[in-house]
Structure 1
């Protein structure tokens, strides 16, 4: 799967780029959470690939859990309505929680999720996002502590990111051709 998929307009981040980004984030998180009771929470489904790689680069004790939230009506734009589809299996009270996200654009869904989790009284609550979209003229509702890299405000897929449940398995992040989702 080294060749570019025919639905991809261009590759933004190669497999090697991704490995370097994840390694850097893992080193930062290791340093910041050494000796703490860290829980990584992946927001399903997109973040599962990133979290799988990230947790293997973190050299301190950590637990993992998963949440699934729904906020996308047609798959391209947020509906503004958030609902929890799958909640945590563990209690996070008094623990250091790091939400692991694949991509951050408006941050509205993540803001809702953070409010929900903060009501469960973790010792700390932060966000690590692989991609932070550069959306002109718009401020983000959440300020992540860890940012892998910025990306243009385009429809990106690969490395866990999808369109209609396709392209998650691409080993790179690329821009989807507009004719695919128009």
Structure 2
């Protein structure tokens, strides 16, 4: 067994993206956000659980006045989306007239994002955008115009850097893909 591989539950994962590469992507996203929201004081809504590392590292690079809050939704079981989205923790901030940016770890089927965008749009924000670290274009089942995409990746199941496999793997600084 290769010592770089990790085992989580019944699956093996091999190295895919380094923490250094993820940091480069976040620098690029933060530069765009700093420019696009320079005079807007956005509200960043990090979607838990998966986006916690991405949101933390990205927001350290955001150098404009902003607010940060969290919403928790779940749609995954094992290695695939259930197709059902359940909101676990709700939003307490007023969104009307605000510039809102959702921070997500990964967009694959788009079920979660579609539900959130539809739900949050009813609260009449001035603007509503998504910044995601990863996007799987070949998995999308919804029409989504995502303005801030760190990396488009193939349909491989990945863990690490906040992403998990049935609760395990979020703590790794690098990203691994299933073997």
Instruction: Provide the TM-score with structure 1 as the length reference.
Output: 0.89
Q: Following TM superposition, by how much is the alpha carbon of 1:88 offset from its aligned partner in structure 2, in angstroms? A: 1.4
**Residues 165-174 or 79-88, more deviating:** 79-88
1:5-154 equivalence runs, <5 A: 5-7=5-7, 8-72=12-76, 74-135=77-138, 140-154=142-156
Give distance in 1, aligned partners of 2:164 and 2:92: 25
- Asked if 1 retains the 8 angstrom alpha-carbon contact of 2:100 and 2:127, the reply is yes
Give distance in 1, aligned partners of 2:6 and 2:123: 45
Q: Following TM superposition, by how much is the alpha carbon of 1:13 offset from its aligned partner in structure 2, in angstroms? A: 1.1
Indicate the SS of the match to 1:152: coil
Give distance in 2, aligned partners of 1:106 and 1:145: 17
Q: Following TM superposition, by how much is the alpha carbon of 1:89 offset from its aligned partner in structure 2, in angstroms? A: 2.3
- Asked if 1 retains the 8 angstrom alpha-carbon contact of 2:114 and 2:142, the reply is no
Which consecutive residues of structure 1, in runs of 5 or more, have no partner in the other structure? 178-182
- Equivalent residue pairs, number: 173
CA shift digits 1:94-137 (9 cap, x unpaired): 1100000000111111101100001011110000010011426x
Indicate the SS of the match to 2:54: helix
Q: Following TM superposition, by how much is the alpha carbon of 1:5 offset from its aligned partner in structure 2, in angstroms? A: 4.3
- Asked if 2 retains the 8 angstrom alpha-carbon contact of 1:106 and 1:141, the reply is no
Matched, 1:166 2:176: no
Provide the alpha-carbon RMSD of the alignment: 1.6
- Asked if 2 retains the 8 angstrom alpha-carbon contact of 1:37 and 1:61, the reply is yes
Instruction: Provide the TM-score with structure 2 as the length reference.
Output: 0.90
Which consecutive residues of structure 2, in runs of 5 or more, have no partner in the other structure? none
